[in-house]
Amino acid sequence: MHSKVIIIGSGPAGHTAAIYAARANLSPVMFEGMMAGGVAPGGQLTTTTEVENFPGFPEGITGSELTDKLREQSTRFGTDIITETISRVDLAARPIKVWREDADGDNDAPDTCDALIVATGATAKRLHIAGEDEYWQRGMSACAVCDGAAPIFRNKPLVVIGGGDSACEEATFLTKYASHVYIAVRRDAFRASNIMAKRAANHPKITVLWNTHVAEAKGNGKQLTHVVLQDAKSGEKRDLEVSGLFYAIGHTPNTAFLSGQLDTDETGYLLVKPGSTITKIRGVFAAGDVHDKQYRQAITAAGSGCMAALDAEKYLEELEAEEQEKAAAGKL
C-alpha cells in the first residue's frame, strides 16, 4: 500500500499530525501500534488518569478519554488508522519503505510513502518494584508535572525516585502541592547539576534520603499509602508513609525500529533542524516526545505534530514541483 503520508505513533503528536494532514487532503495513514513501547495505542497519555492541563477541558479529562477524542477527530477527517506496529523502515529508499511487525522478512511487500512522520514518543523508565502493578496510577506516576496537582496528592507526603536533574526538578515542583517531598537517591550524592541539587537539598519541604532504594509499594487495595525503603549499605528496611510515588529516572525514546538511520543525541532522542521537525533525511519528520526531551507534555507534543504535518505538506509540494520540472524537461 502506498500513501502520501504515513504517521507512526498515536499520541497527541501523531493524531494532531493526522488531523492537519487529513485536512490538507494528504490522505494520511497512521500505524497506531499494538502495545508498542509496552503501552496501548495512544502512548503515555493512556497511562495517565486525570489530565487537567490540556486546554479545552476545564473539568479535566482522563488520558484514555482524551486519546479516544483525538482518535475520533483523526478518523472524522479521513485518517486511515491501522492497529499494527511498524518494526523496521528503509529511509534511504524512494518511496520510503516501512514493514509491519508481522511481516515475513523480505518476502512481504512493505508499505510505502512519500513522507514519513515519526511520532513514537518516549517511554518513562520504571523499576517495576513489588506492588507497582497494583498501585500504578493509584498513587504511582512517572510525570510530576502531569499528575502532581491531582487531589490525591495535595497536602500529602510524596516520594520521588531519582538522583538527576529531573528528580530534583520534579521534587521541587511537587512542593507546591505536597505537605512534604522525599527524594530517594540510591547513592550518597546527586547526579544532578550543582544548582539543581542545591535547590532541592536546601528546600524546607524536601528531605533527601541518601543510599536508599524503594523496595515495595503498599496500600489499602485502592490507593498507595506507604512504601518500603531499603538502605543500600546495610540492607535494613523501614516503612515510609506517602500518598504518592513519582519515578524521575529518565525516558527511553521509542526509536529502535529506525536502526540508527536518523541522527540522535547522546540519550537517543531524534535530532531535528532547529525550529522545525525536519530530520537529516529528506521527507522524514519527527514529532513529539521522540525528539523533545525537555517539555514532554501532551500539549507540546500536539503542537509538534501540527508542525510535522505542515513541514510534510510543504515537502510534498516541493516534491511535486520537482517532478513536474523533470517531466517538462523530458519533453524538451
CA-based angle 25:119:50, to the nearest 5? 105
Whether 207 contacts 176, CB under 8 Å: no
User: In the numeric block, which cell numbers belong to residue 96?
Assistant: 520510503
Q: Which of 111, 147, 289, 292 is catalytic?
A: 147
φ/ψ of residue 142, rounded to 5:
-125, 20
For cell 523502515, the residue is: 89
- If one counts every other C-beta atom within 10 angstroms of the C-beta of residue 233, the result is 10
Separation between Cα atoms, residue 143 and residue 153, nearest integer Å = 13
Separation between Cα atoms, residue 206 and residue 62, nearest integer Å = 29
* Cα dihedral across residues 186, 192, 194, 195: positive or negative: negative
Is 168 a residue of the active site? Answer: no
For cell 521534587, the residue is: 171
Q: Which of 114, 143, 289, 311 is catalytic?
A: 143
Is 143 a residue of the active site? Answer: yes
Rg (the chain; Cα; Å): 22
Separation between Cα atoms, residue 7 and residue 41, nearest integer Å = 13
Q: Quick one: which of 297, 127, 321 has its CA closest to 215?
A: 127
Q: Which of 111, 113, 114, 146 is catalytic?
A: 146
Separation between Cα atoms, residue 167 and residue 245, nearest integer Å = 12
The 3-class secondary structure across 149-190, one letter per residue, is CCHHHCCCEEEEECCCHHHHHHHHHHCCCCCEEEEECCCCCC
- If one counts every other C-beta atom within 10 angstroms of the C-beta of residue 95, the result is 18
Separation between Cα atoms, residue 252 and residue 263, nearest integer Å = 15
- Active site amino acids: 143, 146-147
